[in-house]
Amino acid sequence: MRPETLRAVALGGRVADLTIEAGRIARVAPVPGPARACALPLLVDAHVHLDKTHVVDRLPRRARSLGEAIALAAEDRACWTEADVRARAGRALAEAEAAGIGALRTHVDWTEPARPLAWDVLGEVAADWRGRVEVARAILAPLELVGDPDAGPAIAAAAAAEGVALGAFVYRQPHLPALLEAVFDLALRHDLALDFHVDEGLDREAQGFDVIGALTRRHGMAGRVLCGHACALAVRPEAEVARLLDEAAAAGVALTVLPTTNSWLQDAQEGRTPRLIGLAPMHEARAAGIEVLVALDNVRDAFYPYGDYDLLDAWRLAVLNAHLDPADWIEAVTEAPRRALGLPPGRIEEGGPADFLLLEAAEVAAMIDHARLRPVVWRRGRPLDAAAPLRASA
């Protein structure tokens, strides 16, 4: 196959021609601007739910609260079979690949001591998709279950056997500090990363984030603890939140913000316009030194009934809701989740794989200016979409 050159591409502050040959970037040649396009590394989503996804059409109603969504998801679980989970997850991963996601972490519900059906099915799906979308699993258990001295050790051992993260749903449980201490003890015993759903509500008394930050620091687990949601930080006193963010940054906790699901479920009441969307304080968290990620969370299920696996749509919503600078925050869906998940950098460089997103605009802000503007996804030196812009024979 003849080499191809992509002309005048912006690469994080410089402009270059990219020559693609045999599935790799053969040459990066600096050229004078202006840029005609910009290239981004493949996207990484640190927080999705492939076990629950794409069930909305069979749900009896749409949830208007987190509690109702949890109940609907539990009812739907009775419909799950190996074939059902495999088909829905395959559809999701096809959407993710087409949207430029190169890797993701899926949380898998583990609601009882016994190993759930979806766990092994998604392990097989992950193997099937290796080389296209890299799929990592994380256990998502009720805090009361994984913190239980009888059930927790076996669940943690299962996570250790497969080298996956251990997680729990944390929200105002009785004896929460003791339960979280038990989870951290299991993580230390088995050398596990931790990934929590924490304080997913608008209750000022929710303090799971506080306890997780303190335990992360006490046990020296910097860089191995990820907190998703943290909606309650949006309503707690600002001075208190500032102190907590400083402490979490010093401890090495990372934060995943989930704009679609939280916008849909927080402060939701029939016939009333929501006043709050439960968005964690992104600017303040990053300013404190916390690694901040943006992720999709739920897609077409009880928790969020819309969408597909276009991570840039969730990123756009975060940009609009949180008044983010697009150029400063694009790394929340590229390099920041790579660092949080322990993945290698997604550099676009000579000798590297020709896997990237190419946007026919000089800057990423164009994706906010023009809602229909979509990058072309390049994998293994070819565009997934046949209509790739800015191509020229070398």
**Closest to 115 (Cα-Cα) out of 69, 54, 53, 164:** 164
- Respond yes or no: is residue 75 known to be catalytic: no
Last residue of a domain, one of 298, 322, 341: 341
Last residue of a domain, one of 308, 326, 341: 341
Q: SS3 sequence, the chain?
A: CCCEEEEEEEECCEEEEEEEECCEEEEEEECCCCCCEEEEECEEEEEECCCCCCCHHHCCCCCCCHHHHHHHHHHHHHHCCHHHHHHHHHHHHHHHHHCCEEEEEEEEECCCCCCCHHHHHHHHHHHHHCCCCEEEEEEEEEHHHHCCCCCHHHHHHHHHHHCCEEEEEECCCCCHHHHHHHHHHHHHHHCCCEEEEECCCCCCCCCHHHHHHHHHHHCCCCCCEEEEECHHHHCCCHHHHHHHHHHHHHHCEEEEECHHHHHHHCCCECCECCCCCCCCCHHHHHHHCCCEEECCECCCCCCCCCCCCCHHHHHHHHHHHHCCCHHHHHHHHCHHHHHHHCCCCCCCCCCCECCEEEECCCCCCHHHHCCCCCCEEEECCEECCCCCCCEEEC
CATH number of 353's domain: 2.30.40.10
| Whether residue 212 is found in the same domain as residue 244 | yes
| Whether residue 244 is found in the same domain as residue 387 | no
Q: How far is CA 152 from CA 138, 160, 183, 224, in A?
A: 15, 12, 8, 19
| Whether residue 83 is found in the same domain as residue 198 | yes
| Whether residue 130 is found in the same domain as residue 11 | no
Total structural domains within the chain: 2
CATH number of 303's domain: 3.20.20.140
Q: Which of 4, 95, 97, 200 is catalytic?
A: 200
Domain that holds residue 377: 4-41+347-393
Last residue of a domain, one of 319, 341, 363: 341
| Whether residue 192 is found in the same domain as residue 246 | yes
pTM for the full predicted model = 0.95
Beta bridge partners of 101: 43
| Whether residue 37 is found in the same domain as residue 47 | no
| Whether residue 160 is found in the same domain as residue 103 | yes
- Kindly give the confidence (pLDDT) of every residue in the chain, 394 residues in length, as a single tens digit, with 9 standing for 90 and above: 689 999 999 998 899 999 999 999 999 999 998 999 999 999 999 999 999 999 999 999 999 899 999 999 999 999 999 999 999 999 999 999 999 999 999 999 999 999 999 999 999 999 999 999 999 999 999 999 999 999 999 999 999 999 999 999 999 999 999 999 999 999 999 999 999 999 999 999 999 999 999 999 999 999 999 999 999 999 999 999 999 999 999 999 999 999 999 999 999 988 999 999 999 999 999 999 999 999 999 999 999 999 999 999 999 999 999 999 999 999 999 999 999 999 999 999 999 999 999 999 999 999 998 878 889 999 999 999 744 444 443 3
| Whether residue 19 is found in the same domain as residue 55 | no
**Closest to 91 (Cα-Cα) out of 337, 307, 320:** 307
| Whether residue 49 is found in the same domain as residue 176 | yes
| Whether residue 364 is found in the same domain as residue 216 | no
One-letter identity of residue 85: V
| Whether residue 330 is found in the same domain as residue 355 | no
| Whether residue 105 is found in the same domain as residue 169 | yes
